[in-house]
Structure 1
């Protein structure tokens, strides 16, 4: 986990990079999709037993996954749902 950034800021930066915009230009703001204060507090815990193993949520067409180390993975939501489909 990055000590200089909050987890929510890291998520915003990753999505902004994918969108090719500055973090300030993301619309809608991340807090419309998830309580950013609660998200940050989950990963600021000093007790490793209180940090969740994974947090996943959808935002603006992306699936965001954050593991217990604070690594943020952003994938296109459509690629996640397409992979789940079975061709008959």
Structure 2
């Protein structure tokens, strides 16, 4: 299992989700169905860009895979934590 840490100053959570999906499916990011077909990437980024210290988590399905995102920057795909490529 790999760990991921979100750098709020240079990373967007939606980009990290796309990278995790590419890693989980062994697919190039540009070959994936656009994330916006499943979830609004800008809203996702805004939700996790918040200065709030509240714990936030989101789960959604993408092409049959369960994607989870937590406020600590952890991105999981079907329960497996995915880190940087």
TM-score band (shorter)? 0.7 to 0.9
Structure-2 separation of matches of 1:14 and 1:2: 15
Structure with higher helix content: 1
Pairing 1:1-88 to 2, within 5 Å after superposition: 1-3=6-8, 4-27=10-33, 29-49=34-54, 52-75=55-78
Pairwise CA RMSD:
1.5
The list of structure 1 runs, each at least 4 consecutive aligned residues, that deviate by more than 4 angstroms after superposition, is: none
TM-score (norm: length of structure 1): 0.74
Q: CA deviation at 1:35?
A: 0.6
* Alpha-carbon separation, structure 2, partners of 1:23 and 1:2: 20
Aligned residues: 73
Gaps of 5+ in 2: 1-5, 80-85
Q: Which has the larger radius of gyration?
A: 1
What is the Cα deviation at residue 11 of structure 1?
A: 0.5
- Structure 2-normalised TM-score? 0.76
